Amino acid sequence: MTATPSVPTDDAQPGDPPRRTVAAHYRRQIRGTGREARFLIALAFFITFGIVRFITYAIRYHWLPFLHDNVTKNGLHIHHFVYGIVVLLVVGYLALAFPERQGKRLIALSLLYGIAAALTLDEFAIWLNLRDVYWAKQGRESLDAVAIVAALFLIASTGAPFWSELWRDWMRRG
C-alpha cells in the first residue's frame, strides 16, 4: 500500500499529521482492513431502507403522482419483500458457489445483499404476522426500530476506525 500524500491547507501547522481525503480514509480503514463487504452491505441496507420508506409513504399519501400501488390485473399486490427474498437467494448462491475475497464482483454482491436485506426486512412484520400490518402501529414501530438500529450498528461497528479517523480529520479542520 502506498502512502497517501497530504493535502496542503492554509491552516495547517508544522507537525500536524497529514489530512486525508474521504477516499484515502476509505482505502485505509475499510478496504485495507478487509471490512469493505460488511461496510457496503450496511451502507446499501441503510440507504435502501430510507428510499423504500420514502416511496411507501409517497404512495400512501400521494406525494408524487407517478407513484402508486403496484397491483396485478388479478388484483394481487406483490410486496417488495418478495423481490428482496429472490435477490437474497441469488446473491447467497453466487457468494457461496463462487466465493471471492475482493474485487468488483464482491462489491456488487455486497451492495445487492444490502439492498435485498432492506427490501425484505422493511416488511418483516408482514411475513412475521402473515398478514398486512405494514401501516399498523405494531408492524411499523418494531420494523422501524429493528431496521434503523441494525443498519446504524452495522455501519458504525464495521466502519468504526474509518468514521473515527474521518471525524478527527474534520474536527482538525474546524
Q: What does the pLDDT look like over 110-123, one tens digit per residue?
A: 999 999 999 998 98
Give SS3 for 71: strand
CA distance 19 to 5: 8
DSSP assignment string, 62-120: T-STT----B-TTS-B--HHHHHHHHHHHHHHHHHHS--SSSHHHHHHHHHHHHHHHHH
pTM attached to this predicted model: 0.77
Instruction: Give the mean pLDDT of the chain.
Output: 84
CA distance 147 to 153: 10
Indicate the domain borders of the chain. 35-68+89-164
Average pLDDT, stretch 21-32? Answer: 88
